[in-house]
Amino acid sequence: MKATPARTPSLAVGRTKLSGVLRLEPRVFTDDRGFFFESYNETTMAEVGIAAHFVQDNHSSSLKNVIRGLHYQIEHPQAKLVRVVSGEILDVAVDLRRSSPTFGQSLVEHLSAENKKMLWIPVGFAHGFRVLSESADVLYKATDFYDPASERTIAWNDVDLGIDWRTTSSPIVSAKDASGISFKEAPKF
């Protein structure tokens, strides 16, 4: 039987203040040509506790000061692995799991093409982001398919959540996001 070669860890994992949400920092190899890193490796993810089966990849391109979210799906909940390939964002997760010790709390994480950090957001969270750069391209893997019938939107500016989006002017939001409901009214997990 052939021996498996020893693997060098390709991913550093950091816990966040929200139960289950992980900050992932890939090992980046750089030289005068540019850089290389594994943005996803099923074995590595399983080793750090992410044994997810992804069924959909999404790519969002947005302009400066756009806020997308806070979105989630009730009947077909999605866990997400989020990263930025161009620009920079504030990525936001809100814990909607009633049994969680961090229920109702939010996390704001700076993700950028430069820092190459990723965020693992398990099922049971609302998700959104604000673009800080002139534009940003955000990629995220999802564990279930998009289901418009079960999608819900929490108001990005909900007073009870008190998320610091670090805005200095009115953000650009879609009609759907502008009419999001309050955290108190939102269906939970």
Calculate mean pLDDT across residues 116-135. Answer: 98
Residue (of 189, 186, 170) closest to 178 by Cα position = 170
CA distance 47 to 130: 31
Residue where the block lists tokens 């806020």: 67
Question: What fold characterizes domain 53-178?
Answer: Jelly Rolls (2.60.120)
69 Cβ contact partners less than 8 Å away, ≥ 6 residues apart? 92, 126, 127, 128, 129, 153, 154, 156, 177
Q: Tell me the CA end-to-end span of the chain in Å, nearest whole number.
A: 46
Quick one: three-class SS letters along 44-112? HHHHCCCCCCCCEEEEEEEECCEEEEEEEECCCCCCEEEEEEECEEEEEEEECCCCCCCCCCEEEEEEE
Task: Please check whether residue 62 is in contact with residue 136, taking contact to mean a CB–CB distance below 8 angstroms.
Answer: yes
Banded pLDDT at 106 (limits 50, 70, 90) = very high
Average pLDDT, the chain: 95
CB-count exposure of residue 172 (10 Å: 0-12, 13-18, 19+) = middle
Q: What is the mean pLDDT of residues 5-15?
A: 75
The band of 10, judged by pLDDT with boundaries at 50, 70 and 90, is confident
Cα–Cα dist 20/86, whole Å: 26
Active site residues: 71, 140
Checking if the pLDDT of 6 tops 70, the result is no
| Percent of the chain predicted with pLDDT > 90 | 93
93 is written with which tokens?
Answer: 């997760």
User: Is 70 exceeded by the pLDDT of residue 119?
Assistant: yes
Which three-class secondary structure state does DSSP give residue 140? Answer: strand
User: 3-class SS at 22?
Assistant: strand
- What are the sequence ranges of the domains in the chain? 53-178
d(CA 64, CA 79): 26
The pLDDT-based confidence of 8 (bands split at 50, 70, 90) is low
